[in-house]
Amino acid sequence: VLTYEGGWLVTSNTTLSDSVIDENEQANRINEMASLRASCLPHAVFLLHAVLDGTAEWMEIFLADAERAYGDEGEAMLIDLIGNNSDDAQKCPFLPGYWYRSCLDIAVTVARDEYNLQDAFQKEGMEQFVGLMAECN
């Protein structure tokens, strides 16, 4: 939904001009789609952020618990599982940084003009979204 080509529920002028719908109905349709975008897309963005952020927090707890439970053996086991290459750290879903990076990637998606997501946010919603992005580790 977030990366739908051209933007989700965005109708181009050429699509509308080619249709057999009269002008009043076209205007109503545009307003309805804008209303749906404004109510659904910010909600989807916030839900996605909550899932990714929650997963990152869970991974932090999981890694701390594993280290406490298994001590030095656990650390060696985790290094074997995760790998010891710092370049791969952002690509490893067993590390919280992977999930925090995914949270920040939402901001890139919202900012891209090709998806028209930023237009769906009210001022307050965008301020809330920017605040969430600032809190990502």
Q: What is the pLDDT of residue 17?
A: 54
pLDDT at position 27 over 70: yes
**Predicted confidence (pLDDT) per residue in 94-136, tens digit:** 888 899 999 999 999 999 888 888 889 999 999 999 999 998 8
Q: What is the pLDDT of residue 45?
A: 94
Q: What is the pLDDT of residue 99?
A: 92
- Distances in Å between the Cα of 41 and the Cα atoms of 46, 84, 85, 131 are 9, 38, 37, 17
Q: What mean pLDDT comes out for the span 9-31?
A: 71
pTM: 0.78
Q: What is the pLDDT of residue 10?
A: 76
Task: Tell me whether residue 42 is exposed, middle or buried, using C-beta atoms within 10 angstroms of its C-beta: 0 to 12, 13 to 18, 19 or more.
Answer: buried
DSSP assignment of 16-57 equals HHHS---HHHHHHHHHHHHHHHHHHHHHHHHHHHHHHHHHHH
Work out the number of other CB atoms within 10 angstroms of the CB of residue 99: 22
**Three-class secondary structure of residue 99 per DSSP:** helix
**Predicted confidence (pLDDT) per residue in 42-87, tens digit:** 999 999 999 999 999 999 998 888 888 887 776 677 767 766 655 5
